[in-house]
A = this chain, B = another copy of it.
Amino acid sequence: MANEIIVIGSGAAGMSAASAAKSKCPEAKVTVFTEDEDVAYSPCAIPWGIEGKIPWEGLVMHTPEFYAKERGIDIHTRTTVESVDDESKTVTAGGAQYHYDSLVIATGGKVFVPPISGANLKNVFVVRTVRDGKNIQAALKDATRVVIGGAGVIGLELAVAFKEMGKEVTVVEMMDQVIPRIADRDMADVIQKDLEGRGIRFVMKAPLQSVNGQDKVESVSAAGETIPCDVVIFATGVRANLEIPKALGLDIGHLNAVIASPTMNPYRRGRLVPDIFVAGDLVQCSSAVMPGATMSQLGSTAVKQGMIAGTNAVCKDKVLFGEVASPWVSCIGDNQIAGTGLSKGLASWYGIDVAEGKAEGTTRARYYPGGLPYRVKLLADRTSHRIVGGQIVAGEGATGRIEWITMAVVCGMTAEDFLVKAETAYCPPTSMVRDPVLWAAEDLIKNLKQ
């Protein structure tokens, strides 16, 4: 039984691992090292923190003092792990050495900032930590014009928050649609149109070429245009932090993340490393939809992997991590947009042809007050007719429904089987008597025949 557990990283994965280890094995000594000053917060909540909808204190679930006192977990904040020696099973951090029986590496990812000039100017930010959020909030006090690089869900959530704060907001996106990769263009366009209606400007097919200014940001260049601005935010995707895994010689997959077993152990030259565990944004996952690797990098995945890593770090009674369809949801303006499994873009990355089925309805019975628009699509592989993904844009109720579609994807249901087996719960204030997902399945089956 492992008694000394070291966790590197204090995000969703790291703190879930630490808490699970201590909860399954109360006599274990659990120590967390983190470069961050805050622990156990949700980076996904930062847009609402900046806007002031959530107080920063509320956003941080627990303090290091809480963990020490209530859970018996020792957290070293603002502490860099200098090295790990897995022969002697020691971690060197803040100049001291610490022994471990099991080590959990949950160092997450960092925002990818494109290598362009001016990216290190004052008032250029990424959004990853509470400190980032507070710094952006402070900088916005004297700012009127904000440019966001990247029209992914975080970029768009931020765009709405800044607009609500009265700023002029321009979103610059390299691709030709918002929420590229995980959302299809028709669903993404609903969101973009709504945000344009709120006065947010989009510059599409425009990689950021440079950030310009003397000692602080004055403009950005994109698509041959110079866009004046006071603040720039990079919301350009997350890359795994691989310093420690690479120093330990752990196997890195072709998506540039750590390969892990279902028990969340890494490998070294193809061999499982039993006393090291990995969890969170630095892990390469297996797809539940198509054979092969995929990245998940979701908070929900990080928590799940963290709990599994922490449990297996102390218990002989192991728990397993499965494959991922990676359902996601984002609240952008008046819409919720959600997806699961493959989008058309992701399907083409797997080389497969998909058919789609679409439907539109309302989130409540048509005659019930307060119903909101509800669009849904399902995608199926043309060869097997298996449902491989789904997307929803709706005013409410997207989360549970995307989890429902996820279960159908993960169980490998064909479109035809889904239409026979799917049942929906009806009450006028919460649903239509026939949920639009079922209409989408009908449309999908029709299109699969063509």
Which stretch in A28-36, A253-261, A404-412 binds the other chain?
Answer: A404-412
Pairwise interchain contact A420-B322, C-beta atoms closer than 8 A: yes
A288: nearest chain-B partner, CB-CB: B421
**Once the chains are docked, how many angstroms separate the CA of A220 from the CA of B12?**
58
A349 within 8 A of B: no
Pairwise interchain contact A407-B411, C-beta atoms closer than 8 A: yes
Beyond A44-B427, A368-B54, A399-B425, whether A433 also contacts B303 by CB under 8 A is yes
Residues of B within 8 A of A12 (CB): 433
Residues of B within 8 A of A204 (CB): none
Beyond A326-B423, A404-B403, whether A304 also contacts B434 by CB under 8 A is yes
A109 within 8 A of B: no
Residues of B within 8 A of A427 (CB): 44, 328-331, 336, 399
- Indicate which residue in B48, B288, B402 contacts A428 across the interface (CB closer than 8 Å): B48
**Once the chains are docked, how many angstroms separate the CA of A256 from the CA of B288?**
43
Which stretch in A124-132, A139-147, A222-230, A293-301 binds the other chain?
Answer: A293-301
Q: Which of A301, A320, A420, A435 has the most CB of B within 10 A?
A: A420
A321 within 8 A of B: yes
A-B contact pairs, 18 of them (CB 8 A): A42-B367, A44-B426, A44-B428, A48-B429, A54-B368, A300-B425, A327-B423, A327-B424, A328-B425, A329-B427, A331-B430, A397-B399, A397-B400, A399-B400, A399-B425, A400-B400, A403-B424, A407-B421
Having A397-B400, A400-B400, A407-B411, one finds 20 other A-B pairs with CB under 8 Å, namely: A42-B367, A42-B433, A44-B433, A53-B368, A54-B368, A59-B367, A300-B433, A303-B434, A304-B423, A329-B427, A329-B431, A396-B396, A397-B397, A398-B400, A398-B430, A400-B403, A403-B423, A406-B423, A407-B422, A410-B421
